[in-house]
Every structure is written in C-alpha cells, then in structure tokens.
Amino acid sequence: MTKPPVSDERRPANDGPKAAARNRTALVAAAREIYAEHGLDAPLSAIARRAGVGQGVLYRHFPDRDAVAGAVLEENVRQIERAAAAPDATSESVLGVLTWHLTESAAFISLLCVDGTGRGSRNLAYATALSERVERALDGHLPDSVGVPLRETSDLMLAVAMVSGAVTGPTREQRERRALAAWRLLGVTVGPVHPFNE
C-alpha cells in the first residue's frame, strides 16, 4: 500500500520550481498595490497575504523589506529605460513614461524624492543604483525648455525630483494634473502620460 505520489493530504500548493517565478511576480505586483494603498511602511505580511503566499516565500525572494521596494522600483525603472531605448524615443515620450510612473507609484516618488536626511538611509544602496539607472536612461534626452534651460542630465534629474515633490493627491488623476503643472512651471513639454508596454 504505497502512498500516492503527489501527496495524501492537502498539499500546500508546492508546484515545484515553476511556482518560484510566479510567486515572485505575484509578490512584486502585490507590493505595488499595497504600497499604493498604504504607503511604503505597509507591513510585509500584508504583501505576502495579497500575493497569496506565505511570509516565508517573501523572505526567500527578498532578503529584507528594502529588497521588496527595490523589486517594485525595478519595474518602473526598466520601463523608463526601455522608453529611452526605443527607436523613436524623444525627451517628451520618455518624460511621459517617467511621469506616468511618478503618478502611479508612491514608491517611485520616494525613490526620486528622498529626503535624504537619514530616514530612509537604510537602503541607500538600492535607491542610489536605481536612481542612477534613471539618470543614465534620461541621458541624451535632455528636453528643450522655455525659460531657464536644462544644461545637463543632472539638471534634468533635479527637475525630476522637483516634479516628484509636486506629485501629491489622493487620486492618480489629481497627481497627473499636478505633475503636468509642475513640468509646465519648468517650461518643459511632456508627451502622453502612459506606461511603456502594458
């Protein structure tokens, strides 16, 4: 009377290695939602619950809470990189995508608008690396601007931080309106605000 191969009780959904990638994706998506709803200080348990996995899985994929935020930002940053690498990329189109992410992801705002005064200092490593990837992506897409010109990418990154600071409000629409008003004050034209490939 050998036991059936799969399991004899309620199997906790051990789908083998296939599940690993699926779980990681689910965790990042869940984290994005939770961050949007409750801010970056939301408990990790909420993220695991939303993803439908145990907390142990979260720790298997991410060593600490900063790694979770980093993974969420990774996706934002990648879209900007791809927008910048597109054959028909213009400063306007790239800023449109960047602005989309600013309005959609509270975590992304925090990335670019860190107060730098120590609070989030735990994970400067992650934040700095990601921030530099954004900077590199924007390099070569310096927009024209009415009034004071942006002369270098560092000026543009400053402008991005400034727009980040302006992006407040409870709904995405309000945040988009504020972001566009901010770009206008800077004299910068922004293309359609949308995600890159979604």
Partner DNA sequence: AATGAATGAGCATTCATTCAT
Partner DNA sequence: TATGAATGAATGCTCATTCAT
Q: Interface with DNA includes 60 (CB under 7 A)?
A: yes
Name which of 85 and 124 has its Cβ closer to a second copy. Answer: 124
Binding piece for DNA, criterion CB under 7 A, among 53-61, 75-83, 154-162, 175-183 = 53-61
Ranges within 127-186 binding a second copy (CB under 8 A): 145-148, 150, 155, 158-159, 161-170, 175, 178, 181-182, 184-186
Q: What binding mask, one character per residue, do residues 86-125 give for a second copy by CB under 8 A, x or -?
A: --------------------x--xx-xxxxxxxxx-----
In angstroms, the first-to-last Cα distance of the chain is: 52
Q: Which does 169 bind (CB under 5 to 8 A by kind): DNA, a second copy, none?
A: a second copy
Please give the residue ranges that form the binding site for DNA (CB under 7 A).
11-20, 22-23, 41, 43-45, 52-57, 59-61, 64-65
Please give the residue ranges that form the binding site for a second copy (CB under 8 A).
36-41, 106, 109-110, 112-120, 145-148, 150, 155, 158-159, 161-170, 175, 178, 181-182, 184-187
